[in-house]
Amino acid sequence: MAKENQFVNQIADIETDFPRWYTDVVTRTKLVDYGPVKGTMVIRPYGYAIWENIQKELDARFKATGHENAYFPLLIPYSFMTREAEHVEGFAPEVAVVTVGGGETLAEPLVIRPTSETVIGEMYSKWLQSYRDLPILINQWANVVRWEKTTRPFLRTSEFLWQEGHTAHATEEEAMEETMKMLGVYKEFAETCLAIPVFTGRKTEKEKFAGAVATFGMEAMMHDGKSLQAGTSHYLGQNFSKAFDIRFLDKDGTHKYAYTTSWGVSTRLIGALIMAHGDSRGLVLPPVVAPVQAIVIPIAAKKEGVLEAAATLKAKLRAAGVRADCDASDNSPGWKFNEWEMKGVPVRIELGPRDIEAGKMVLVRRDTHEKTEASLENAAEAVQALLAEVQQNLLRRAKKRKEERIVTAESAEELLRGVEGGNFVKAGWCGCRECEDKIKEQTAASARVIVEGETAGKCCCCGREAKHVVLFARAY
């Protein structure tokens, strides 16, 4: 236990103070720092590198499904926000407004982008003329501002980075197909790249996006049993088309309103990574998105040839496509072990004079701390194979937790016991907003997604016939 304490004395205990553990980890590992404006964050290079890897993986998937990237303005005329009544009502409390520009009061206030349905709707109304122009499949990588009252790095900040896809289609069927397709893209990405198994499904009316006909969410289970909404895909119907006059001349010679969608994920995914895989020693990063996949630690570095051999090994790994680095600093090996473990690097490579002489290296996995040896001659193959195993093991481990921490409830009391035990809870719901609000008030748990294909006899709140089975959880 004494040895363990050497590794964790800079971060709070993950089991007894999870919120403090999270804050300690994101700052101690230099993922972020706090910005000078309350509620903002500075994403430092190590944290931004994770976001770049997320971008790279998602961007390839978007382009493979026919989407193109574009960019739309940060500043939106205030009048745009008022055109869709439900949308403006939903975002009004979070909107930041610019009233002065160039030292003069503006003729019309400008909203700092909280989301882009309105400005993109305005542009689509100009670009769309004929059915031949459809579908429009556009994504943008951008920042947004939402004036949050309670903030935490990555999870909820006043400004954050994200991508938002916006598409327009000729028919309701095509738009719904797009909505579900992109939800599927997110789910595959979460499991394949982030090693996080997720729940997907339709949101309740209370939880849906302001202005949508239907919202479909992706919910991830965190270490403490709470849910994190990791992504959403919205079927907007013709709500924004009618508000912004997005019409086209169809084959039958009549003008019709387009059916639109929007979908997005954000830097909140980094918070999901931290809280889904982290342990008492800090970060545990899946190799697919880790900034550094393998770190070479020279042992007895002052001895002749050690640093040279470590540099050669790093170069060999990089040439094979491994994101490798070498810590040639004058810190002790123990300090380096601690530092790189805390930063979540998937594989540590120890290389000393005896290893070099024997033509081998020592590999240490971050997920299990297991040590193995491999030949230097086959270093790239050995490291790549180990990275693949670490990636799969993180997913297996997360799936096991997800499966073990789902319980069912037939009453509000059982639901309360379930969420207090750190679980997701499946329960019957009558579909009444009053019952949904009452469950939230009594248990602090909200409806995350509606579970398709399952039935329940009665509502866990009022006892009337259940229309849906809902996954309830406390959420970030």
> What is the per-residue pLDDT across 356-406, written as a single tens digit (0 to 9) for each?
999 999 999 999 999 999 999 999 999 999 999 999 999 999 999 999 999
Asked if the structure places residue 398 within a domain, the reply is no
Asked if the structure places residue 285 within a domain, the reply is no
**346 and 455 in a common domain:** no
pLDDT of residue 129: 97
**249 and 129 in a common domain:** yes
**Residue-range definition of the domain harbouring residue 455:** 406-473
C-alpha pair distances (Å), 173 with each of 169, 243, 384 = 9, 21, 43
**340 and 387 in a common domain:** yes
Residue 101 contacts residue 77 (beta carbons within 8 Å):
no
pLDDT of residue 177: 98
List the one residue out of 263, 248, 252, 212 whose CA is nearest residue 135. 248
Give the domain-ending residue among 244, 277, 310.
277
Asked if the structure places residue 163 within a domain, the reply is yes
Torsion, Cα 367 372 376 380, to 10 degrees, reads -30
Give the domain-ending residue among 216, 245, 277.
277
**247 and 138 in a common domain:** yes
Angle at 91 between CA 199 and CA 270, to 5 degrees: 40
pLDDT of residue 86: 79
CATH code where residue 443 lies: 3.30.110.30
**416 and 368 in a common domain:** no
pLDDT of residue 9: 63
Give the domain-ending residue among 393, 427, 456.
393
pLDDT of residue 4: 42
CATH code where residue 213 lies: 3.30.930.10
Asked if the structure places residue 45 within a domain, the reply is yes
Q: How many domains does the chain have?
A: 3
Give the integer Cα–Cα distance in Å for 454 and 456: 7
> What is the per-residue pLDDT across 276-316, written as a single tens digit (0 to 9) for each?
999 999 999 999 999 999 999 999 888 989 999 999 999 99
* Residue ranges of the chain with per-residue pLDDT less than 70: 1-9
**185 and 81 in a common domain:** yes
CATH code where residue 353 lies: 3.40.50.800
**344 and 321 in a common domain:** yes
Asked if the structure places residue 114 within a domain, the reply is yes
**156 and 97 in a common domain:** yes
**309 and 233 in a common domain:** no
pLDDT of residue 90: 75
Asked if the structure places residue 289 within a domain, the reply is no
Residue 213 CA to its chain's centroid (Å): 23
**271 and 332 in a common domain:** no
**326 and 463 in a common domain:** no
**Adjacency order of strands within the sheet including 75-77:** 75-77, 104-112, 96-101
Asked if the structure places residue 461 within a domain, the reply is yes
pLDDT of residue 63: 98
**139 and 101 in a common domain:** yes
Asked if the structure places residue 210 within a domain, the reply is yes
Give the integer Cα–Cα distance in Å for 239 and 232: 18
